């Protein structure tokens, strides 16, 4: 069967949607019960917060995937080493209790999951990635800081075959179902399969809409809310040149908004390094689901130099040259050119300032 045939990945799509939906419900429960008082939070080495929700969501997704596709490797953001530490016993029990409500997930009471088996489920995401393989990527809560403050975050899952993203599913519990009608409520899942288009459904699984469908009256540049990971001043120069309005948002929800028509560009440029610090390394789970969503909605995504993204290098994506996603090819070319001019101006200022 061809990778782009109408029947391709139909089982994988349904399993992925189910896994993301169930993980979204876990994250919502965790937020309502645990996050509001800002308890049960660790710090990873990169200083981003990790919550019960991250671990619980990854445990749920990995368990569903391994039940359905036991031979498929998983590249996930989280590992369970921190949860094994004695000082984190209370956090570990929170994760177990957060994932032990639904028997059909393979995590419920009739499966009698132990602490060890749950940690093993999280660690199923420790695959190293690479080319010439079929693998899943999992980002259980993309935009953890948005999650903690009740803003935008995303539960992200993709399937990569021989370095090509063939399936992407992104759950956004806090995104409005319709951008212009808040009465319709919030909570969406965005789905794309290679060659089959991109769609939005509600979190409950109804109301499928083909993307894009919303003609925005404002031409937005969607960008990160996190200044540590992106060059905000450079993005502003590009936005000003192209007469675009900046819109900050956490997580791969930016890809979802762009795919359904709310924006014109998603722009992510590496933040300047300070004091010899290494640049932030983008990971394949950060962009694989969003990339296929953009492409199947009729848009284009590359690095900032116009080069196709690479998802077969391992867990990372190689040298960080930034990311450009647009709603059409002509605009994409103009954005790449504007970035080159903005970078030239930035480099000239640095040279002038150096004694």
pLDDT digits (tens, 9 = 90+) for 277-331: 777 789 999 999 999 999 999 999 999 999 999 999 999 999 989 999 999 999 9
Domains of the chain by range and CATH? Answer: 10-210 (3.30.540.10), 220-353 (3.40.190.80)
Beta strands in the chain (DSSP E): 41-43, 49-51, 74-76, 134-142, 154-161, 164-176, 186-193, 197-202, 209-210, 220-223, 245-248, 265-268, 300-303, 323-326
| DSSP 3-state of 93 | helix
pLDDT tens digits for 71-116?
A: 999 999 999 998 888 888 888 888 887 775 444 444 444 444 567 8
Nearest alpha-carbon partner for 289 in 158, 129, 193? 158
| pTM of the entire predicted model | 0.92
Per the annotation, binding residues are 77, 139, 141-142, 286
- What mean pLDDT do residues 39-53 have? 69
Selected catalytic residue, list 144, 230, 302, 326: 144
Per the annotation, binding residues for Mg(2+) are 77, 139, 141-142, 286
Selected catalytic residue, list 54, 123, 250, 303: 54
Is 54 annotated as catalytic? yes
């Amino acid at each position: 069967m061809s990778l782009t045939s109408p029947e391709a990945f139909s089982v994988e799509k349904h399993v992925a949607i189910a896994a993301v939906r169930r993980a979204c419900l876990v994250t919502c429960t965790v937020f309502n019960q645990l996050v509001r008082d800002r308890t049960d939070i660790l710090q990873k080495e990169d200083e981003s917060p990790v919550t019960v929700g991250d671990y619980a969501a990854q445990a749920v997704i990995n368990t569903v995937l391994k039940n359905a596709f036991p031979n498929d490797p998983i590249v996930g953001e989280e590992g369970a080493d921190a949860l094994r530490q004695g000082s984190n016993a209370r956090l570990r029990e929170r994760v177990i209790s957060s994932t032990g409500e639904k028997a059909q997930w393979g995590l419920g009471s009739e499966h009698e999951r132990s602490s060890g088996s749950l940690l093993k489920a999280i660690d199923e995401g420790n695959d190293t990635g690479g080319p010439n393989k079929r693998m899943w990527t999992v980002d259980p809560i993309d935009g953890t800081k948005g999650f903690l403050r009740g803003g935008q975050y995303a539960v992200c899952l993709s399937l990569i075959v021989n370095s090509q993203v063939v399936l992407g599913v992104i759950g956004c519990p806090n995104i409005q179902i319709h951008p212009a009608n808040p009465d319709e409520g919030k909570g969406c899942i965005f789905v794309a399969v290679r060659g089959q288009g991109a769609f939005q459904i509600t979190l409950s699984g109804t109301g499928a809409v083909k993307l894009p469908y919303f003609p925005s009256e404002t031409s937005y540049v969607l960008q990160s809310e996190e200044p540590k990971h992106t060059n905000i001043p450079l993005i502003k120069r590009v936005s000003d040149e192209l007469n675009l309005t900046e819109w900050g948002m956490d997580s791969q929800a930016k890809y979802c908004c762009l795919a359904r028509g709310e924006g014109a560009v998603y722009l992510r440029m590496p933040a300047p390094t300070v004091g010899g610090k290494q640049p932030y390394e983008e990971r394949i789970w950060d962009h694989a689901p969003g990339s296929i969503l953009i492409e199947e909605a009729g848009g284009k995504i590359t690095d900032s130099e116009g080069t196709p993204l690479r998802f077969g290098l391992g867990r990372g994506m190689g040298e960080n040259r930034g990311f450009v996603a647009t709603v059409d090819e002509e605009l994409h070319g103009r954005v790449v050119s504007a970035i080159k001019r903005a970078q030239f101006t930035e480099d000239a200022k640095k040279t002038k300032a150096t004694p």
